[in-house]
Structure 1
Amino acid sequence: MDSTRQFWEDFYRDKDQVWSGKVNPLLEREVATLTPGTALDLGCGEGGDAIWLARQGWRVTAVDISETALKRAAGHAAEAGVEGIVWERHDLAVSFPEGSFDLVSAQFFHSPVAEDGERDKALRRAAEAVAPGGTLVVAGHAGWPTWMEEPPHEHVHFPTPAEVLEALTLDESEWTVEAQDVVTRDFPGPEGQAGTRSDNVLRVRRNV
């Protein structure tokens, strides 16, 4: 097993549950008014977004590098009685799901072990997978929480929506930028510290 895959397997194996199981609020905000069709959830983790999308009527392909995460996500979907999700394991630096999709979602697509350029390459491939008339939503952190005095990774760069858009190298005649925002929300610390955290979101639509 290569080091990237091992990192994410260990990441999920270390805890019985890593994420809340709820949909990412930015994804809900950006797609709530879209007509359900086919969706691709990149880096699906324990399945919170994929399960929510399926409940809204989307037919979902959910992808992660970690077999542990995928098994856990499939278990959560089964427990909730949610169908319409195909779970696939991919290292997006190596392989990518086949087909085109009405929605492609990359939520908090950060990796401390990705090589330079891997994220941008995967996101460009994600854009290629958007069907005509379809939507790409990319959300990510804009920085560390305000209460965090000593960040765990001091030199991490959080791309702005403009930087993500530039890295996608989209043909402006084929795409429309629908949202390019920074969203700040209350984000208390683990010991109840008051604070906020800002996140970036980019939503682009492929023209019909």
Structure 2
Amino acid sequence: MSQHHTTGTGAGAGQEFWDARYLESDRIWSGNPNAALVTEVTDLAPGSALDLGCGEGGDAIWLARRGWRVTATDISGVALDRAALHAREAGVAEDAIDWQRHDLALSFPEGPEGPEGGFDLVSASYLHTPGDMPREQILRRAAAAVAPGGVLLVVGHAGPGPFDPEAHHDMYFPTPDDVFVSLELPSGAWRVERAEEFERTQNGPDGRPGLRRDNVLRVRRAAA
């Protein structure tokens, strides 16, 4: 199972919720990077990266091992402590990843050039959470944090999982086009490089695999 990133605020979905969720098990996610991240980032030259909702650190560690300088953030301090431990176990240099705790609805990491811009890659993978979360606002801030010539990558679920389709009946799953429109990007300042749905295998609670549809939006900011 790929790592699902989580963040958010609102009833039942703040820091206490996610700390308790991570304390349920020694490892929630697989530790592997998300497949869509690997597909979309492998061809990019390493630079500075921002991983929004880093969870237990699978994506951040993969990026750091490929030479990226990573700022990784999550709402859960438990997840961040675990991610830092996994990074040490993987032999990642301590200064390769800056682990920061943020409720992205309330605070946002600064880039190398300050609050607005500076990251060559901003990755927001599976920013879904129970309760209320201003996802569109967070993603607009994510776009603002991308340096000229850099990439914003947004990966999300296209619908509920195959094992319990009613589990998230009240959750909105935007299409790649929905995400692009919600970003409100200036005309001519960004180029869409990929906007599509894809299918992947996800293991259920009993370990048996099932197919799940996700989506990906990759946009590049125009060079200065």
For 2:44 and 2:143, how far apart are their aligned partners in 1? 17
Equivalenced residues, count: 204
For 2:99 and 2:168, how far apart are their aligned partners in 1? 31
The answer to whether residue 94 in structure 2 is matched with residue 76 in structure 1 is: no
Counterpart of 1:196 in structure 2 is 211
Give the C-alpha shift of residue 9 in structure 1.
1.0
One-letter identity of the residue aligned with 1:173: G
What RMSD over aligned residues (CA atoms) do the two structures have, in Å?
A: 1.5
Counterpart of 2:114 in structure 1 is none
Structure 1 length as normaliser, TM-score? 0.93
For 2:22 and 2:193, how far apart are their aligned partners in 1? 34
State the percentage of identical aligned residues.
Answer: 56
Asked if the contact 2:160/2:168 (under 8 Å) is kept, the reply is no
Q: State which of 95, 104, 118 in structure 1 corresponds to 2:107.
A: 95
Point out the more displaced range, 81-90 or 194-203: 194-203
Q: State which of 87, 112, 127 in structure 2 corresponds to 1:109.
A: 127
For 2:164 and 2:84, how far apart are their aligned partners in 1? 37
SS in 1 for 2:216: strand
Q: State which of 139, 151, 157 in structure 2 corresponds to 1:135.
A: 151
* Change over 3 Å in CA distance of 1:45–1:164 after alignment to 2: same
Structure 2 length as normaliser, TM-score? 0.87
SS in 2 for 1:45: coil
Give the C-alpha shift of residue 187 in structure 1.
3.3
* Change over 3 Å in CA distance of 1:149–1:8 after alignment to 2: closer
Give the C-alpha shift of residue 163 in structure 1.
0.6
* Change over 3 Å in CA distance of 1:79–1:186 after alignment to 2: closer
Q: Structure 1: any 5+ residue segments left out of the alignment?
A: none
